Structure 1
Amino acid sequence: MDTITIVLVLLLAVVVSEFLSRMLRLPIPRPLLQIALGGAIGLVADFRVTLNPDIFFLLFLPPLLFLDGWRIPKEELVRDARPILALALGLVVFTVLGVGLLINYMVPAMPLAVAFALAAVISPTDPIAVSAIASRVPIPKRMMHILEGESLLNDASGLVCLRFAIAAALTGTFSIYDATLNFIWLAVGGLGVGFVVTWVINAAKNWVARHYGEDAGSQILVSLLIPFAAYLLAERLECSGILAAVSAGLTMGLSETSGQAMATTRVRRSTVWDMIQFAANGIIFVLLGEQLPAILRSAAETVRLTGHHEPGWLLIYVLAINLALAVLRFVWAWVSLSLALLRARRRGVVIQRPSWRFVAAMSLAGVRGAITLAGVLTLPLFLYDGSPFPARDLAIFLAMGVIILSLVAASIGLPLLLHGLQLETNTTQRAEEDRARTAAAEAAIAEVERVQHELGEGKPDADIYVAAAARIMDLYRARIEAQSRVGDDPALARQIEAIEARLRIAALKAERMTIYRLLRTRKIGSETARKLVRELDLMESRYEG
């Protein structure tokens, strides 16, 4: 009963944070508000959530990473693959080494392996937190796509580094050769498991739907189970469950381009996943706040691990770590950009160097959030010999401090850095969307004509079908919504409505298949396709219901 009460209280706190954010129009991002509410709960409530790291990791990370992989624009991921990989892989290793050594230097009582584990866990960035902060100031679209792609992959690379660091802390040994082989298996195996599991499940699901019909509820439940299936199987095979969840999401996004699911299923499934994302991210930040009072109460004992007596030193360490993260990120981004410009000049391509404010914004946008908290809470409670894991409370405190301070710094600094900068125009996407709408409308008109002839052929009242089809084709040609008058005969009205509904569904399906075809041939992007398919699904769901 206590567990159920705690879950309900956490969900209520997430809802309250959303209401307060909207009603009071507070100039702070919602994650900070959720942390504050969690802190209030931890102070006044007579319960404290004791988190099992393995269960916490399993419950929250697979669905969140799966959804990120599912919804990220694939063509943007391919186009910006080089800077994304540089940030998601190179910057993570650079950060783990640099910040790990810094933490070990500042706090000699924290073993080097634990310092590297803490550095690994604060390496991944959180696009949800960045989006919440940047809602008041528009972030350049390409910058946001790079941040999303980076966060999708650096979650995996950072948590894989965390796994190696924890293993080194538990065993006291570390082999670069074994770690390299292990990393290759973790990466290749994880990506392969995610792809195979998702492909097999989708193939089986589509076969059942084609032969026995489709039920929206079961389809949604299957999509919810896929990330957990991929994660658990990958962990059983001792490869990366994190990468398996990411790969499963990417595969799910690609398989969706077949357009086999019903419109009603897609609409309902999107709503369910939006709710899960909102609730899971919110609960993680509320839990972070709920854990803070207990950790602060033990701050005096924790600070003694650092060799000092004043708790203010903990704040100094948090500031130093955040500064180091920002500096390392700025240096990496600046060097990567300079090398990219140099390669472009060698190819004879002249590219204008972006303003330093963009590079600074990229550095400050490296906000830590849900993945950092989830990762740091997976630090073991005990070593193999039964002794407490060294400096675990200190690592958790510093990670929480980094999350909070990075949120505060970005919420203040990003609007200042981005304000007044000329952002790229969206003319390419608008033109792409216009072309897609035109192609979809042409396909719809052709399909309406075909179905009209098929339905009315050889029937004495064929003119009714012609009239119904003409009205629908007029709507597509004009791309406007208009009400039609069908006369005073109720039976005739119902007949025409049924015919129109069938013709509309045929037209909408033709539109959607054209959109997916344009997406598969890379003539339009994922965001454009998702927007147009969403519109078509909403219209079709009216007639399927």
Structure 2
Amino acid sequence: MILLLAVVISSAVSRMLPVSIPTPLVQIALGALIGLGVNQRVELDPELFLLLFLPPLLFLDGWRIPKDELLKDLSTVVELALGLVLLTVVGMGFLIHWMIPAMPLAVAFALAAVISPTDPIAVSAIAARVPIPKRMMHILEGESLLNDASGLVCLRFAIAAALTGSFSASQAALSFLWMAVIGIGVGVVLTLVVTRAKAWVSERFGEETGSQILISLLIPFGSYLLAEHFHASGILAAVAAGVTMSFAEISRQALAMTRMGRNSVWDTIQFAANGIIFVLLGEQLPGILSGLDETVQMTGHANPWWLAFYVGAIMVGLAVLRFIWVWVSLRITLLRQAQNGATPPRAPWRLVATMSFAGVRGAITLAGVLTLPLVMGDGTPFPGRELAIFLATGVILLSLVMASVVLPILLCDLKMPAEPSKQAEENKARIAAAEAAIKAIERAQHALSKGRNDADVYATAAVRIMDVYRERIENRSLSDEANGATLRTDLIERDLRIAAITAEREEVFRLARNRKVGSETAKKLVRELDLLEVRYK
């Protein structure tokens, strides 16, 4: 309860501060205060921590990521999410082992694996007052969705190598293939089976909103646990389940009430889970810092400032690797466009730098490093676990601070290539939907008025409703110039409608306070007004 309260308070505090401080940093600070001021401590079980937080968050990322935008930049996303992760694991693993010889190479690779995934939620929080261009954000989201899975799969191999003391590249490749194929297959198949089953039940016996929402909550955990049962990747299963869920929803529609309630529930879960992870990081900080003397001794030094040096060196290594990879990836993309006969736009250095500093580490890094085993197979402590946790924590904090300072500067007045307008696509969809509505109204009118004496009443009502749709078709079928004027009129009309709806709602509340209308009537009217307001926002 204290952690959840801290999440709520941190959100309010981050909005109240006169300077732009990312919400994750505020949450970490509040968590540190809780760790210092509360006697009770959270003893994190690594496996339980992984199960509770990662499946729903990765499932939701896969569910909500724009699929068209992801496919458009799929090559860039794959280059960042797979190639960069492998380069980071290998390069940073050897660098960490070289800097700290006392840390076994397998443990160094495990640390490199957990600091390879990026966190778009932290980036969004940092850039809240300096909006990130949409295409860049889509690339970062797609990269995070895939590199979460690839980084954590690499972590699993590194832990296995540390526990067994051996590593076979061929065996690792076969294991990776099994984990990836079976994990993705489990997520896809389970989601399709569950969605088809619930659609069959809903069509024949009706739909109950609460159970539909609960099913969506159980799918990521079921996918994760089933994949782990087959010794596959539960992380990839959760991601695949989320992507499949988005396609399944298109073909098997749920009630509007179900979709609205489900979105609200998942928004709350995402807000709470991400917030709790950062609060937990802060709550663990006092314990991590209290053992600095013992932690630094493992490195062969006595001064704790060596740990700060190692964190800084790791950040420099990560930044250099990411900058080089982003630059090379961007050059390859531009060369491809040139070979296809297109004239590629010039890529400013600030674009490469922005993509590099946007690689902020966050919740997935913390969740991954906390899953390092407590003991080896023979019962001895896992070597370098506390040091790895400290270094990963330092990387998270430093990356958040650096990005919060540098990103707003780089994004200010950054000129991005013009993105194609989707207004024509939207107009086409609205016209097609309106034409379908008119046909449905005509069919419904004939069906309802057949054999009735008051058929003219049905005809009048149908004409009145169809006129609204015909006006919509006419407005969306104008020329580009006229369409621009119509859009401006729509914006003005939207503001006026919202003002009117706000006044209506305030009057309903006033009537309810004065007991001139009952609470049930007021609740019904307010809900209708809320739905109208959401439509215009």
Does TM-score exceed 0.5, indicating one fold?
yes
Q: Give the partner amino acid of 2:435.
A: E
The residue number in structure 1 matching 2:39 is: 46
Matched with 2:478 is none
- Which segment drifts farther, 440-449 or 392-401? 440-449
Name the structure 2 match of 1:301.
294
Separation of aligned partners in 2, 1:306 and 1:170? 21
Q: Which residue of 1 aligns with 2:316?
A: 323
Taking the aligned partners of 2:316 and 2:428, their CA distance within structure 1 comes to 46
Give the match for residue 497 of structure 1: none
Match of 2:292, as an amino acid? A
Residue 346 (structure 2) aligns with: 353
**Partners of 2:345 and 2:417 within 8 A in 1:** no
CA–CA separation in structure 1 for the residues paired with 2:364 and 2:320? 21
For structure 2, list consecutive stretches of 5 or more residues without a partner in the other structure. Answer: 473-492, 501-527
Give yes or no for contact 2:295–2:386 (8 Å, CA) kept in 1: yes
Instruction: Give the C-alpha shift of residue 111 in structure 1.
Output: 0.6
Q: Deviation digits for residues 377-436 of structure 1, max 9, x if unmatched? A: 000000011110011011001101111111111111111111111245555223322222
* 1:245 equivalent among 235, 238, 253: 238
Alignment map for 1:399-478 (pairs within 5 Å):
399-425=392-418, 428-478=421-471
Residue 265 of structure 2: which of 267, 272, 285 is its match?
272
1:215 maps onto 2:203 in alignment: no
Tell me the amino acid that sits aligned with residue 226 of structure 1. Answer: I
The one-letter amino acid paired with 1:232 is: L
Q: Which residue of 2 aligns with 1:191?
A: 184
From 332, 355, 363, the equivalent of 2:356 is 363
State the partner residue of 2:376. 383
The reply to whether residue 288 of structure 1 matches residue 284 of structure 2 is no
What secondary structure sits across from 1:308 in the alignment? coil
The alpha carbon displacement at 1:118 in A equals 0.2
Deviation, 1:160, is 0.4
Tell me the CA shift for residue 259 of structure 1: 4.8
Q: 2:63·2:243 contact (CA, 8 Å) conserved in 1?
A: yes
CA distance change for structure 1 residues 211 and 540 in 2, over 3 Å: closer, same or farther?
farther
Amino acid at match of 2:199: N
TM-score, length-scaled by structure 1: 0.86
Residue 488 of structure 1 aligns with which residue?
none
SS of the equivalent of 1:474 reads helix
Q: Which has the higher mean CA deviation after the structures are superposed, 435-444 or 266-275? A: 435-444
Match of 2:28 among 32, 35, 38: 35
Out of 308, 312, 325, which is 2:305 matched to?
312
Q: How far apart are residue 310 of structure 1 and its match? A: 1.3
Q: Distance in 2 between matches of 1:380 and 1:24?
A: 39
1-structure distance, mates of 2:230, 2:152: 17
In the alignment, does 2:38 pair up with 1:59? Answer: no
2:97 is aligned, of 97, 104, 110, to: 104
**Alpha-carbon distance in structure 2 between the residues aligned to 1:17 and 1:426:** 35
Contact 1:263 1:540 in 2 (8 A): no
Letter in 1 for 2:323: F
- State the Cα distance separating 1:25 from its structure 2 match: 4.8
Deviation at 1:460, TM superposition (A): 1.1
Contact 1:104 1:115 in 2 (8 A): yes
TM-score (structure 2 length as normaliser): 0.87
* 3-state SS, counterpart of residue 421 of structure 2: helix
Deviation beyond 6 Å, 4+ runs, structure 1: 480-483, 539-542
Spell out, residue by residue over 1:345-401, the C-alpha distance to the aligned partner (whole angstroms, 9 max, x if none): 233332123111111100000011110000000000000111100110110011011
Instruction: Give the 3 Å change call, closer, same or farther, for CA 431–134 of structure 1 in structure 2.
Output: farther
2:118 equivalent to 1:133: no
Aligned to 1:530: none
Aligned counterparts of 1:312 and 1:463: Cα–Cα separation in 2: 86
Q: Count how many residue pairs are aligned between Structure 1 and Structure 2.
A: 483
Name the counterpart of 2:483: none
> In the alignment, is the contact (CA less than 8 A) between 1:264 and 1:541 conserved in 2?
no
Deviates more, 1:214-223 or 1:464-473: 464-473
- The aligned amino acid for 1:412 is V
Equivalence for 1:517: none
Q: In 2, are the aligned partners of 1:230 and 1:245 still within 8 Å (CA)? A: yes
CA distance, structure 1, for counterparts of residue 401 and residue 171 of structure 2: 40
Query: Does the CA-based 8 Å contact 2:114-2:155 persist in structure 1?
Result: yes
Residue 26 (structure 1) shift: 4.3
Q: CA deviation at 1:70?
A: 0.3
Matches of 2:443 and 2:89, distance apart in 1? 61
Q: Which moved more, 1:153-162 or 1:77-86?
A: 77-86
Counterpart-to-counterpart distance in 2, 1:430 and 1:405: 41
Partner Cα separation in structure 2 for residue 476 and residue 367 of structure 1: 47
Q: How many Å apart are 1:445 and its aligned residue?
A: 1.9
Partners of 1:174 and 1:422 in 2: how far apart?
Answer: 47
Q: Which of the numbers 194, 198, 207 marks the counterpart of 1:201?
A: 194
Residue of structure 2 equivalent to 1:114: 107
| Cα separation, 2, equivalents of 1:427 and 1:301 | 56
Confirm or deny: 8 A CA contact 2:199 2:252 kept in the other structure: no
**Conserved 8 A contact 1:267-1:538:** no
The answer on 1:263 being equivalent to 2:256 is yes
Counterpart code for 2:136? M
Structure 1 residue 541: deviation in Å?
Answer: 12
Task: Please give the alpha-carbon distance, in whole angstroms, between the structure 2 residues aligned to 1:191 and 1:467.
Answer: 54
Amino acid at match of 1:401: G
Match of 2:243, SS?
helix
Please tell me the root mean square deviation across aligned C-alpha atoms, in Å: 2.0
Alignment of 1:67-78 (within 5 A): 67-78=60-71
